[in-house]
């Protein structure tokens, strides 16, 4: 079965309605894929021949123990650097054959939230609006700078919406340094969501978060999917993968050992190592 077949089979049979009951706006989206990708850092490959695709309006979980290369894979999908071998493509085009300007345009359709929290020293609202500001033209940026100087700076609606999505609207004016770890992570997700990306890449978004913050982050993932965004979430938390994802890929021992609809991967895995990993019997 091809990866695209897995994608179609794996897509959950939920209707694509938003939390307010309205149908999400149809968007074309971007299909981001790793095609036969091998990557290493000079000392042999970390993983080999990885096939993976983030489909619009779908949540893909990439699961595996610590150190298997989940972060590396997300960074390759985010076009941070080229793979040692193979292709990272956006809608079928090898991103590393594009001009730097065209590749930047692809990168701007991708939001990434890193495992290490990385808010700027500013308010939650300013952080959430950051991605919008860097996409503005120079003249718009100049006007925004003038508004800040004269104290008439306003928070863009998209940043407010994104903060609402992660349940942080009431803390928009709080400085990043005063936020709890869970709140800061939710603002980081708002920052990635505000520019309305086609693809959202989340690296262990809830490691070290309490159940309430974890639930809010998972709700934001669902809201993103409802808007037609393709989400890839790297996690070592199998239960989280089961809760939020339509499709799961298991990265073990340097390759994808399992790929398919999440329910199937959990209930009837093809690979014995997946069964052991899911059952918590495989200890790394
Ligand atoms: N820039 C780098 N240079 C050299 N080795 C690296 C680099 N980045 C990652 N690695 C190595 O690649 C392997 C995979 O790391 P990666 O962070 O992708 O794994 P992971 O599955 O995301 O782990 P975790 O769940 O702990 O974050 C590790 O052995 C790591 O030490």
pLDDT 10s digits, 148-157: 655 555 778 8
Residue closest via CA to ligand 1's atom 6 equals: 41
Query: For residue 148, what pLDDT is reported?
Result: 61
Mutation to probe ligand 1, out of 41, 64, 83, 113 (largest number of atoms < 8 A from CB): 41
pLDDT more than 70, % of the chain: 83
Atom of ligand 1 nearest to the CA of 75: 18
Q: In this structure, what are the phi and psi dihedrals at residue 192, rounded to the nearest 5 degrees? A: -75, -30
Pocket of ligand 1 (CB under 6 A): 41, 46, 64, 66-72, 115, 236
Whether this prediction's pTM lies above 0.90 is answered by no
Q: Report which listed range, 9-18, 135-144, 167-176, is most confident.
A: 167-176
Confidence of residue 219 (pLDDT cuts 50, 70, 90): very high
CA–centroid distance, residue 256 to ligand 1 (Å): 16
Q: Which domains, from first to last, does the chain contain?
A: 3-278 (3.40.50.300)
Atom of ligand 1 nearest to the CA of 73: 18
CA distance 83 to 89: 11
CA–centroid distance, residue 40 to ligand 1 (Å): 9
* Tens-place pLDDT, residues 220-261: 999 999 999 999 999 988 889 999 999 999 999 899 999 999
* Tens-place pLDDT, residues 24-45: 456 788 999 999 999 999 889 9
Residue closest via CA to ligand 1's atom 23 equals: 67
Mutation to probe ligand 1, out of 65, 67, 80, 233 (largest number of atoms < 8 A from CB): 67
Query: For residue 84, what pLDDT is reported?
Result: 96
CA–centroid distance, residue 70 to ligand 1 (Å): 8
Residue with the two structure tokens 């700027």: 120
Q: Could you report the predicted ipTM of this complex, rounded to two decimals?
A: 0.96
Residue with the two structure tokens 């091998």: 38
Q: pLDDT higher for 86 or 116?
A: 86
Atom of ligand 1 nearest to the CA of 115: 27
Strand partners, 47: 39
CA–centroid distance, residue 187 to ligand 1 (Å): 25
Query: For residue 184, what pLDDT is reported?
Result: 94
Number of CB atoms found within 10 A of residue 49's CB: 15
Average pLDDT over residues 75-90: 96
Residue closest via CA to ligand 1's atom 31 equals: 67
Q: Does the structure show a pLDDT above 60 at 89?
A: yes
Q: In this structure, what are the phi and psi dihedrals at residue 36, rounded to the nearest 5 degrees? A: 50, 50
Q: In this structure, what are the phi and psi dihedrals at residue 255, rounded to the nearest 5 degrees? A: -155, 170
DSSP 94-116: EGGGS-HHHHHHHHTTEEEE-SS
Residue closest via CA to ligand 1's atom 18 equals: 69
DSSP the chain: --HHHHHHHHS-----B-TTSPBPPP-----EEEEEEEEESSSSEEEEEEEEEE-TT-EEEEE--TTSSHHHHHHHHTTSS--SEEEEEETTEEGGGS-HHHHHHHHTTEEEE-SS----SSBHHHHHHHHHHHTS-HHHHHHHHHHHHTT-----HHHHHHHHHTT-GGGTTSBGGGS-HHHHHHHHHHHHHTT--SEEEEESTTTT--HHHHHHHHHHHHHHHHTT-EEEEEES-HHHHHHH-SEEEEEETTEEEEEEEHHHHHHS-SSHHHHHHHTT----
């Amino acid at each position: 079965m091809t990866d695209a077949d897995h994608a179609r089979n794996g897509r959950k049979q939920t209707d694509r309605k938003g939390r307010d009951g309205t149908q999400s706006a149809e968007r074309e989206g971007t299909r981001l894929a790793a095609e036969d990708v091998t990557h290493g850092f000079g000392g042999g490959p970390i993983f080999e021949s990885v096939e993976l695709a983030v489909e619009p309006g779908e949540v893909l979980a990439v699961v595996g123990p610590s150190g298997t290369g989940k972060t590396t894979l997300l960074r390759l999908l985010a076009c941070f650097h080229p793979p040692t071998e193979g292709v990272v493509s956006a809608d079928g085009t090898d991103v590393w054959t594009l001009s730097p300007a065209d590749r930047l345009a692809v990168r701007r359709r991708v939001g990434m939230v890193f495992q290490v929290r990385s808010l700027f020293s500013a308010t939650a609202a300013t952080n959430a609006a950051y991605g919008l500001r860097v996409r503005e033209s120079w003249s718009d940026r100049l006007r925004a700078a003038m508004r800040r100087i004269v104290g008439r700076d306003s928070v863009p609606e998209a940043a407010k919406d994104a903060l609402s999505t992660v349940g942080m609207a009431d803390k928009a004016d709080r400085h990043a340094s005063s936020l709890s770890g869970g709140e800061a992570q939710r603002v980081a997700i708002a920052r990635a969501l505000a520019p309305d990306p086609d693809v959202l890449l989340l690296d262990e978004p809830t490691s070290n978060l309490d159940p309430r913050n974890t639930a809010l982050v998972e709700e934001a993932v669902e809201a993103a999917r409802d808007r037609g965004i393709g989400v890839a979430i790297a996690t070592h938390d199998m239960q989280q993968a089961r809760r939020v994802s339509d499709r799961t890929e298991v990265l073990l021992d340097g390759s994808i050992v399992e790929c398919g609809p999440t329910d199937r991967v959990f209930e009837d895995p093809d690979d014995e190592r997946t069964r052991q990993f899911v059952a918590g019997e495989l200890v790394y």
